[in-house]
A and B are shown apart, each in its own frame.
Chain A
Amino acid sequence: MHNAEHDAHADHNDHHDHHEQSFISKYIFSTDHKMISKQFLVTAIFMALLAMGMSVLFRLQLGWPDVKFPIMETLLGKWGKDGVLDPSFYLALVTIHGTIMVFFVLTGGLSGTFSNLLIPLQVGARDMASGFLNMLSFWFFAASTTVMLASLFVEAGPASGGWTIYPPLSALPQAIPGSGLGMTLWLVSMVLFIASSLLGGINYIATVINLRTKGMSMTRLPLTIWAFFVTAILGVLSFPVLFAAALLLLFDRSFGTSFYLSDIFINGLAIEHTGGSPILFQHLFWFLGHPEVYIVILPALGLTSEVISTMSRKPIFGYKAMIGSILVIGFLSFIVWGHHMFITGMNPFLGSVFVFTTLLIAIPSAVKVFNWLATLWKGNIVFSPAVMFAIGVVSFFISGGLTGIILADSALDINLHDTYFVVAHFHIVMGSSAIFGMFAGVYHWFPKMFGHMMNKTLGYWHFWLTIISVYGVFFPMHFIGLGGVPRRYYANTAYAGFEEMVNINALISVFAILGGVASLIFIYNFFYSMYRGKVATQNPWKSNTIEWTTPVEHIHGNWPGEIPTVYRWPYDYSKPGAPDDFIPQTVPYTDTPESNTEEDKHHQ
């Protein structure tokens, strides 16, 4: 294999430069981590646009419930007859929107893109531990997106029981049309997705552990790598549980087992399944589901740390505490799943335990926030679009994290469970922060990915319009939630008290549309810059990490000669005495006697 060869003979890639790769092995079945990362990114952008389009459609319904939108019929056909969104398809839209965003964009898209791009480049490896598994990981991902997209065209509609697919609703086609073939395809897609995620995850872990370049000790890794590393571990430990949950559900649906079903009378018949428990599914689902939240957010936090430090020209404050907090968050994420189940009939005493463990997560999270603030303090911030998005991540992590303290309190969750307060909370803390982390990553590493620079002015427009839209959409939602409006309601006609809130809903929908328009700016900038953006220099952000020592033109094996040796941590920005405001990791301490501190002398 290429990698083994590269690792053994570093100077062999001359040989590779000579032999031309075919289109297929270069762009389609590529085993090069940089190409795979781009494949993940482009797929995720496509999926994100689709899921965002869906959210605009159901926001039209929620914002203006009495208005007919011919565009519904144009786009949805029988599901939007006469411009009125069908209530079952409304549920399908929210379900698929959630599924795509959580799994395909924020898990596959975020980890797939940046773990792939940055792990080999920042630890100093020629490629992933296994290029072939890496390629498989992408193609499983592609297959799973294809199946999910195919499910949109099923006659009875795609899965529509919510992205959490709680049985019995998701198990019984009699209960909701989407629980027929649509749900089967959802499960198949998810199984493929999990395979992709596991193949990626073990590869990331193996690469970080085994393929670090000389001198790259674990405590010299950039925080991005720490975040990706812990994320991959979380994924490898939790996704198999979702796999089991999905498999058992598949059995219940197709082979007559009763893992999740009991005592059900539907369509005039008492069905045969007895003895199962719907609560079992919830335990299994959230045992993945909660770590999943951190699988989504940790990479974004890692990217944020890196970008904030680089662009404020300041070392990250409390590097070791940042690593510690990532580890603690990772650990705690496995013992908090029950906070999704306070009022589902789980033993209330168990609820108390989960309140305790959940609120503990606030401590490492607070440490992270304070450390970012301390990093910005007395910095010299160069406002690239990337750092602005990173600041947005911190802002969302604060706002959304704080409402999490309320929801973690089981007593308060009684009245807020499944209301719009929850929708507001997780869209800010997990959705928006993670997507902003992704944007920060794309703007920052675009030169590394495509060798061109992105247009900064469009980047600024994109940032300001998007952050305004995010707060415009999700801040007012807290009030609707506190007013007691349940989520996943097609219309708020059931109860007079809710109809008064329709003007808030219209406001939210306006901001949602604005957010949609803003992301078109990004799409334009992304594809335009890919071809016609200014050609990038080798280290445009004057960064310390070693990915910026590779040539702008991508080559197999990343470095033309030997892999550079690393001598220091990645955050020596604005070190007193140094001539420049950055000292790359590849500069030995012996070359910088003027800036070495007492402690540094031990490293020499």
Chain B
Amino acid sequence: MINFLIVLVIILAVVALAHIVRISELSSEISGRDDSKITEADNKLNGFFMLVFMVLGLGLMVYMTLRYSRYLLPVSASEHGVGLDKLMNVNLIIIGIVFFITEILLFWFAYKYSHKKDSKALYYPENNKLEFIWTVVPAIVLSGIIIYGLQQWNAVINAPSEGVTTIEVYGRQFNWQVRYPGPDGKLGEANYNLISGTNTTGIVTPASVKAKIEEIETQIAETKIELDNTYNDEVVQLNDLSKRLKTLQSHLGRLYAIKDRLQYDKFENNGEDDIVTNELRLPVNENVMMKFRSQDVIHSAYLPHFRVQMNCVPGMVTQFGFKPTITSERMREIMNKKEFDYVLLCNKICGTAHFNMKMDVYIEEAPAYKKWLSEQKAVFAIEEAPAAPAAAPTDSISAPAQISMN
């Protein structure tokens, strides 16, 4: 229905327009009026419209600002965010003042100095004093903005990284995972070569390397068989298979390099007890250092309520440290919305389902958080005997070098 209406409105608008044009043309032909010559009436009318546009426009902007302010983000739920919001408000006030002054002058001049037959424009090509003033004043104001802004920026980028909980947010098409350190309090090394069905963030442990090598070797063998069974005239398939084989073989090479490194270099096996979840929970009022990685393309971890955002770039680790200050529960009260939850969104175009790539975020009191974390199983926990939880990994942590020598 609405479709039909829209099409109808557009058609009618076009028809109406064509008629208006035709009528004005005919009437100008009859009266011998010139459609291109600008008359005093045009100047008066358009000058007046400039004034009307200014008054209505600015009025509507103020109205919209009041009306739409309820859609803006609520008070910042992180410590640094409060400072950023203050910086934002100061900036908004400054640019608001400049906006009103300059736009009012612009449209007011347009109205006031619209062409009049008897008046003549003032020949006024320069005034060095004036130009000096309006170069220096913006320069001073901007210096203030720069200094204030950089102060806040420094506060953000120098967030404490020692002695705080470090967690990892891992992006991939099209969902997020969070990796928490286990009881050892340290995140283990991770590597994209080790990603598998069970080890979705690619944690490096001697066992995971071994398992992955086996998996890839099996895949290579399978691909070879498939390749042998493919007829020579199935060019596309042959091409695909040999490409796949090449990719797998290079993957295997990299895995052996990792294995060698574990054997001969210093390697801290911290990943054995790491926990991976599909939701982000953090304790309130505790500093956290978030590390970001990506599995495939660039993603951006955006936590609007905390004024936190950082890109996740394949091939590098980025980070952002902050301190959440408002629990989810408290925020629901502040916003007066029972069903409110914090969210982590992807904010860098990453593929077709980009708009659906998000994760729920919960901020809790420390005890509740600890309880929740203790209930989460470590990634490699499933393989252990139920009778002696965490026994095997503990051993391997204490003697990583020995195990890898085998």
Residues of chain A whose beta carbon lies under 8 Å from any beta carbon of chain B: 64, 67-71, 83, 87-88, 91, 161-162, 166, 168-169, 172, 175-177, 261-266, 269-272, 274, 276-279, 312-321, 343-345, 348-349, 351-352, 355-356, 359-360, 362-363, 366-367, 369-374, 376-384, 388, 391, 394-395, 398-399, 402-403, 405-406, 409-412, 414-415, 417-419, 453-458, 460, 464, 467-468, 471, 475-476, 479-480, 482-484, 486, 488-497, 500-501, 504, 513, 517, 520-521, 524, 533-534, 540, 571, 573-576, 581
Question: With A and B bound together, what is the CA distance between A362 and B143 in angstroms?
Answer: 11
Question: Can you list 24 contacts pairing A with B, beta carbon distance less than 8 Å?
Answer: A83-B3, A166-B298, A169-B349, A172-B296, A172-B297, A319-B125, A348-B153, A359-B149, A363-B138, A366-B135, A369-B102, A373-B102, A381-B110, A405-B91, A454-B36, A456-B38, A464-B53, A480-B71, A483-B73, A484-B73, A486-B347, A494-B355, A517-B17, A524-B21
Is the beta-carbon distance between A345 and B318 smaller than 8 angstroms?
A: yes
Known pairs A363-B138, A417-B309, A533-B35. 8 more at Cβ < 8 A? Answer: A349-B157, A363-B139, A371-B131, A373-B105, A403-B95, A457-B35, A494-B343, A504-B71
B224 CB, min distance to chain A CBs, angstroms: 16
Residues of chain B within 8 A of A475, CB atoms compared: 61, 64
Q: How many residues of B contact A (CB 8 A)?
A: 126
Is the beta-carbon distance between A176 and B153 smaller than 8 angstroms?
A: no
B383 CB, min distance to chain A CBs, angstroms: 22
Is the beta-carbon distance between B120 and A162 smaller than 8 angstroms?
A: no
> Given B153, B193, B315, which contacts A270 in the complex, CB threshold below 8 Å?
B193
Is the beta-carbon distance between B358 and A495 smaller than 8 angstroms?
A: yes
> Given B6, B49, B121, which contacts A314 in the complex, CB threshold below 8 Å?
B121
Residues of chain A within 8 A of B250, CB atoms compared: 272
Question: With A and B bound together, what is the CA distance between A380 and B43 in angstroms?
Answer: 10
B176 CB, min distance to chain A CBs, angstroms: 12
Is the beta-carbon distance between A343 and B153 smaller than 8 angstroms?
A: no
Contacts A64-B2, A414-B156, A455-B36; A318 near B126 (Cβ below 8 A): yes
For residue B366, CB closer than 8 A to chain A, the reply is no
Interface residues of B in 241-268 (CB under 8 A from A): 244, 246-248, 250-251, 254
Question: With A and B bound together, what is the CA distance between A475 and B63 in angstroms?
Answer: 12
For residue B34, CB closer than 8 A to chain A, the reply is yes
Is the beta-carbon distance between A383 and B296 smaller than 8 angstroms?
A: no
> Given A261, A349, A384, which contacts B38 in the complex, CB threshold below 8 Å?
A384
Which of A274, A370, A520 neighbours the largest number of chain B CB atoms within 10 Å of its CB? A370
Is the beta-carbon distance between B73 and A315 smaller than 8 angstroms?
A: no
Question: With A and B bound together, what is the CA distance between A501 and B67 in angstroms?
Answer: 12
Residues of chain B within 8 A of A414, CB atoms compared: 84, 156, 307-309
B73 CB, min distance to chain A CBs, angstroms: 5
> Given A271, A276, A367, which contacts B247 in the complex, CB threshold below 8 Å?
A271
Is the beta-carbon distance between A270 and B254 smaller than 8 angstroms?
A: yes
Contacts A312-B121, A343-B300, A534-B36; A457 near B149 (Cβ below 8 A): no
Contacts A314-B123, A534-B36; A482 near B157 (Cβ below 8 A): no
Interface residues of B in 40-94 (CB under 8 A from A): 42-43, 46-47, 49-50, 53, 57, 61, 64-65, 68-69, 71-73, 81, 84, 87-88, 91-92, 94
For residue B99, CB closer than 8 A to chain A, the reply is yes
Question: With A and B bound together, what is the CA distance between A69 and B6 in angstroms?
Answer: 10
Residues of chain A within 8 A of B308, CB atoms compared: 414-415
For residue B388, CB closer than 8 A to chain A, the reply is no
Contacts A278-B313, A495-B345; A409 near B91 (Cβ below 8 A): yes
Interface residues of B in 111-138 (CB under 8 A from A): 113-116, 119-127, 130-131, 134-135, 138
Is the beta-carbon distance between A87 and B313 smaller than 8 angstroms?
A: no
Residues of chain B within 8 A of A379, CB atoms compared: 109, 113, 121-122
Q: Which 4 A-B pairs have the closest CB atoms?
A: A484-B304, A453-B36, A262-B315, A378-B122
| Mask of B21-37 contacts with A, CB within 8 angstroms, 1/0 | 10010000000001111
For residue B195, CB closer than 8 A to chain A, the reply is yes
B276 CB, min distance to chain A CBs, angstroms: 15
B324 CB, min distance to chain A CBs, angstroms: 15
Question: With A and B bound together, what is the CA distance between A166 and B351 in angstroms?
Answer: 12
Is the beta-carbon distance between B123 and A380 smaller than 8 angstroms?
A: no
Contacts A278-B313, A495-B358, A576-B123; A312 near B349 (Cβ below 8 A): no
Question: With A and B bound together, what is the CA distance between A67 and B295 in angstroms?
Answer: 35
For residue B399, CB closer than 8 A to chain A, the reply is no
Question: With A and B bound together, what is the CA distance between A489 and B349 in angstroms?
Answer: 8
Contacts A64-B2, A399-B103, A415-B304; A483 near B72 (Cβ below 8 A): yes
Is the beta-carbon distance between A348 and B157 smaller than 8 angstroms?
A: yes
For residue B160, CB closer than 8 A to chain A, the reply is no
Is the beta-carbon distance between A269 and B251 smaller than 8 angstroms?
A: yes
The residue of chain A having its C-beta at the shortest distance from the C-beta of B138 within the complex is A366
A111 CB, min distance to chain B CBs, angstroms: 26
Which stretch of B7-15, B179-187, B229-237 is in the interface?
B7-15
Residues of chain A within 8 A of B313, CB atoms compared: 278-279, 344-345
> Given A161, A356, A380, A480, which contacts B349 in the complex, CB threshold below 8 Å?
A161
Residues of chain A within 8 A of B150, CB atoms compared: 352, 355-356, 410-411
A575 CB, min distance to chain B CBs, angstroms: 5
For residue B145, CB closer than 8 A to chain A, the reply is yes
Residues of chain A within 8 A of B347, CB atoms compared: 417-419, 486
Question: With A and B bound together, what is the CA distance between A83 and B47 in angstroms?
Answer: 44
Residues of chain A within 8 A of B393, CB atoms compared: none
Contacts A69-B3, A166-B298, A491-B355; A376 near B110 (Cβ below 8 A): yes
Is the beta-carbon distance between B106 and A394 smaller than 8 angstroms?
A: yes
Is the beta-carbon distance between A264 and B68 smaller than 8 angstroms?
A: no
Residues of chain A within 8 A of B47, CB atoms compared: 381, 383
Residues of chain A within 8 A of B110, CB atoms compared: 376, 381, 391
Which of A345, A395, A482, A575 neighbours the largest number of chain B CB atoms within 10 Å of its CB? A345
A320 CB, min distance to chain B CBs, angstroms: 8
A145 CB, min distance to chain B CBs, angstroms: 24
B242 CB, min distance to chain A CBs, angstroms: 13
Question: With A and B bound together, what is the CA distance between A359 and B304 in angstroms?
Answer: 24
Is the beta-carbon distance between A87 and B352 smaller than 8 angstroms?
A: yes
Question: With A and B bound together, what is the CA distance between A135 and B119 in angstroms?
Answer: 46
For residue B152, CB closer than 8 A to chain A, the reply is yes
Residues of chain A within 8 A of B154, CB atoms compared: 352
For residue B206, CB closer than 8 A to chain A, the reply is no
For residue B98, CB closer than 8 A to chain A, the reply is yes
Is the beta-carbon distance between B146 and A359 smaller than 8 angstroms?
A: yes
A69 CB, min distance to chain B CBs, angstroms: 6
> Given A87, A277, A355, A383, which contacts B115 in the complex, CB threshold below 8 Å?
A383
| Mask of B336-348 contacts with A, CB within 8 angstroms, 1/0 | 0001100101111
For residue B350, CB closer than 8 A to chain A, the reply is yes
B97 CB, min distance to chain A CBs, angstroms: 10
Is the beta-carbon distance between A264 and B121 smaller than 8 angstroms?
A: no
Question: With A and B bound together, what is the CA distance between A88 and B134 in angstroms?
Answer: 48
The residue of chain A having its C-beta at the shortest distance from the C-beta of B136 within the complex is A363
The residue of chain B having its C-beta at the shortest distance from the C-beta of A460 within the complex is B46
B290 CB, min distance to chain A CBs, angstroms: 13
Is the beta-carbon distance between A381 and B71 smaller than 8 angstroms?
A: no
Residues of chain A within 8 A of B10, CB atoms compared: 513, 517
Is the beta-carbon distance between B109 and A373 smaller than 8 angstroms?
A: yes
Is the beta-carbon distance between B298 and A415 smaller than 8 angstroms?
A: no
The residue of chain A having its C-beta at the shortest distance from the C-beta of B70 within the complex is A500
Residues of chain B within 8 A of A581, CB atoms compared: 120-121
